[in-house]
Chain A
Amino acid sequence: MQASLDLLMTVAFWAAALRIATPLIFGVAGAVLCERAGVLNLGIEGIMTAGAMTGWLAVHLGAGLWGGVLVAALTGAGLGLLLAVLTVKLGLSQHVSGLAVTLLATSASYFGYRLALPAAASPPRIEPFRPLDLPVLSDLPVIGPILFQQTALTLLAIAAILALGLFLGRTPLGLAVRAVGENPAAVEAQGIDVHALRLGAVVAGSALMALGGAFLTLSAFNAFFFEMVAGRGWICIALTVFAGWRPMKALLGAVLFGAFDAFQVRLQQALGGLVPGQVFLMLPYLLSIAALLVGARHASAPKALMRPYIRGER
């Protein structure tokens, strides 16, 4: 046990934590953006799956790694558009619409995978993103290995969520997004199109979520497997509540979550055989539920979350 605790102090451990946290950072950034605009995006699990599949497929077909990232983002944006039409334009239940998008995106990804590779018994691997080797930065003590020897996608995730924080806090458009999640009528009264604003937030947020999926195939596992997202989308939704809808706290939450997961993996290795492996695998989900329960006690949810806005029906 002592050995496990010592682990928490090592550079390798925190590097692993950040790596594990990367898809969650993308996902939670997307979820925060959607929810601050008033839309609960339960399409996240499917969108991550679709991003993982299309990003990987694009690279497999020769589009290059960044081509794959772009394809994944576009896939996410497209699915986000579908969700936004259902929930924003048509004002349908965000719960059910989100699940519908997840079911559709997941089954379409699996179908598409089989379509592209009818015969493959095991998925072909791709050449993934390599760890960065930046001059000076990567050689910094402690910070270097933790932050700058990651793959480019990890840095992109951190940059994205930091940018989201600045966007929401400092820019006129970010103010409008925050306002539309609180009271759409206030936004409309100031001459801003509520539907366009929410639609944009959901599309952009979904693109971020898809990048979280793409990290799994382009950086972590080098191939696409069924069920590889494994509830990370739902974990992001729980983290969003835990973080009180704030990007910085969401980043912190995702990294803590990654640290817990990395710790759990090492604990599993240390205690191998004594406790069934599934017990450890359950912990992230149980932790997410706990995080949700803790977060749900604050009343800082955007007030218009899950409330469709139909003009004239105020």
Chain B
Amino acid sequence: MIRLEPRGTPSRSLALAVPACAALAALGLAAVPLMLAGAPLGRAYAAMAEGALGSRFALSEVLTRATPLILTGLSAAIAFRARLFNIGAEGQLYGGALAAIAVGAGAFDWPAPLLLPLVLFAGALAGAAMMIGPALARVTIGADEVVTTLLLNFVVLLLVQMMIEGPMKDPMSMGWPQSEPLLEAATLPRLMEKTRLHAGLLIALAAAVLLHGLMARTVAGFAIRAVGESPPAARFAGLPVGGTLVAVGALSGALAGLAGAGEVAGVKGFLAADLSPGYGYAGIVVAMLAGLSPLGTVAAALFVAAVFVGADSMSRAVNVSSYIANLIVALSLIAVLVAGLLTRYRLRRVGRPAAGA
């Protein structure tokens, strides 16, 4: 029998190796469904690598996909650090997108240097507003924020459908349920010619750096860590536990809302119900792969984005469903959870008398 024994302090190299191994393990495990689908493994993985990394365009796609994932990853990472389980990033993302359209599709005819920040700010604000309620419910009456945020995801998606089929519907869309487009001045500039890569990436990277600074250097980050690790001790020491949780909720929601506004302003230009292929949920995986570290989130988001982009190519090359990407992402979450144990515990054989141990 094998038993877990607590370790002292996990080493830094181990903390880096664990998510890497988990990611590799998930990619390896994907061989099982691939084989079930009868796909030639070598060709499948090659197509995946080629599709994700093989060209300038492939790389630009990975970066484009990574942009919202960095933001939703940060959203989950900061909330989870405070042990506030915000699973509502998907809904907050759509809420942010909706707000972006509301202010950016003609309501304000401002020049770009004013309108674009307004659009992004509106997105962040909407996301924050959506998370404040669940955070307050948790702080005041102990309602599990996981369930409330999950349920709100459905509500927001229906709200989006209602708006894009109704008041916000684009009259030029020939019946497709999609919103009016953003004004030109409200869109994010492209970073590379003939790709979808946009300036949202820079915003996401800046957010990661700022959050890293917040967590490591500021009193607010100190409070978030203390509240997350031990609410009673934080309260005893005079830190505002409820206030910190609500503030973290707002920040977490804002990041997810920003991701939605960024997708609208950077990629699509309008809002449709297929804006996000699950960036909100994938953000949780990103955050866990990153060990809840803001800078690690960037690397983890790049990995998840590469899986999505690569799996698209693979699915075309060997004719398997592109749901293989979601499968790999889910497997990497389980793998990183299990592997995370190894940073906190070491495996030891027990059962036999430990002679000379």
Q: Is the interface of B mostly helix, strand, loop or mixed?
A: helix
Given known pairs A104-B330, A281-B158, A296-B141, the reply for A90 and B147 (CB within 8 Å) is no
B321 contacts A100, CB within 8 Å? no
CB contacts under 8 Å to B, within A247-287, are 276, 278-279, 281-282, 285-286
| Nearest B-chain residue to A301, judged by Cβ | B142
Q: Is the interface of A mostly helix, strand, loop or mixed?
A: helix
Number of interface residues of A (CB under 8 A): 44
A42 to B334, CA, bound (A): 14
Cβ of A110 within 8 Å of any chain B Cβ, yes or no, is yes
| Nearest B-chain residue to A238, judged by Cβ | B147
Given known pairs A104-B330, A230-B154, the reply for A95 and B321 (CB within 8 Å) is no
Given known pairs A115-B321, A292-B144, the reply for A276 and B166 (CB within 8 Å) is yes
Given known pairs A231-B154, A282-B155, the reply for A92 and B337 (CB within 8 Å) is yes
Cβ of B148 within 8 Å of any chain A Cβ, yes or no, is yes
B143 contacts A292, CB within 8 Å? yes
B151 contacts A114, CB within 8 Å? no
Q: How far is the CB of B334 from chain A (nearest CB, A)?
A: 5
CB contacts under 8 Å to A, within B310-357, are 319-321, 323-324, 326-327, 329-331, 333-334, 337-338, 340-341
A286 to B153, CA, bound (A): 11
A286 to B141, CA, bound (A): 17
Cβ of B165 within 8 Å of any chain A Cβ, yes or no, is yes
Chain B residues lying within 8 Å of A241, measured Cβ to Cβ, are 143-144, 147
Cβ of A293 within 8 Å of any chain B Cβ, yes or no, is yes
Q: How far is the CB of B22 from chain A (nearest CB, A)?
A: 12
Given known pairs A92-B341, A97-B337, A292-B148, the reply for A110 and B326 (CB within 8 Å) is yes
Cβ of B17 within 8 Å of any chain A Cβ, yes or no, is no
Given known pairs A103-B281, A111-B323, A278-B162, the reply for A235 and B143 (CB within 8 Å) is no
CB-defined interface of B144-179 with A at 8 Å, one 1/0 digit per residue? 101110111111001101100110000000000000
A203 to B104, CA, bound (A): 50
Cβ of B10 within 8 Å of any chain A Cβ, yes or no, is no
A293 contacts B143, CB within 8 Å? yes
Cβ of A288 within 8 Å of any chain B Cβ, yes or no, is yes
A42 contacts B141, CB within 8 Å? no
CB contacts under 8 Å to B, within A84-131, are 86, 90, 92-93, 95-97, 99-101, 103-104, 106-108, 110-111, 114-115, 118
CB contacts under 8 Å to A, within B157-212, are 158-159, 161-162, 165-166
Tell me the number of A-to-B contacts counted with CB atoms below 8 Å. 133
Cβ of B94 within 8 Å of any chain A Cβ, yes or no, is no
B162 contacts A95, CB within 8 Å? no
Chain A residues lying within 8 Å of B85, measured Cβ to Cβ, are 95-96
Chain A residues lying within 8 Å of B166, measured Cβ to Cβ, are 276
A282 to B156, CA, bound (A): 9
B330 contacts A107, CB within 8 Å? yes
Cβ of B284 within 8 Å of any chain A Cβ, yes or no, is yes
8 Å CB contact of B36 from A115, A230, A235? A115
B334 contacts A285, CB within 8 Å? no
| Nearest A-chain residue to B338, judged by Cβ | A90
A100 to B124, CA, bound (A): 27
A286 to B151, CA, bound (A): 8
Cβ of A170 within 8 Å of any chain B Cβ, yes or no, is no
| Nearest A-chain residue to B141, judged by Cβ | A296
Q: How far is the CB of A257 from chain B (nearest CB, A)?
A: 13
A118 to B341, CA, bound (A): 38
Cβ of B14 within 8 Å of any chain A Cβ, yes or no, is no
Cβ of A148 within 8 Å of any chain B Cβ, yes or no, is no
B151 contacts A234, CB within 8 Å? yes
A86 contacts B337, CB within 8 Å? yes
Q: How far is the CB of A128 from chain B (nearest CB, A)?
A: 26
A111 contacts B147, CB within 8 Å? no
A282 to B158, CA, bound (A): 7
A110 contacts B333, CB within 8 Å? no
| Nearest A-chain residue to B284, judged by Cβ | A99
Q: List 7 A-B contacts (CB under 8 A).
A: A99-B87, A99-B333, A108-B327, A231-B153, A241-B144, A241-B147, A285-B155
Could you list which residues of chain A lie within 8 angstroms of chain B, going by C-beta atoms? 42, 45, 82, 86, 90, 92-93, 95-97, 99-101, 103-104, 106-108, 110-111, 114-115, 118, 230-231, 234-235, 237-238, 241, 276, 278-279, 281-282, 285-286, 288-289, 292-293, 296-297, 310
Known: A107-B323, A111-B327. 9 other contacts (CB 8 A): A95-B85, A97-B337, A103-B281, A111-B324, A276-B162, A279-B162, A282-B155, A285-B154, A296-B137
| Among all A-B residue pairs, the 9 with the closest Cβ atoms | A114-B321, A107-B326, A103-B330, A278-B162, A104-B330, A296-B143, A111-B323, A278-B158, A110-B323
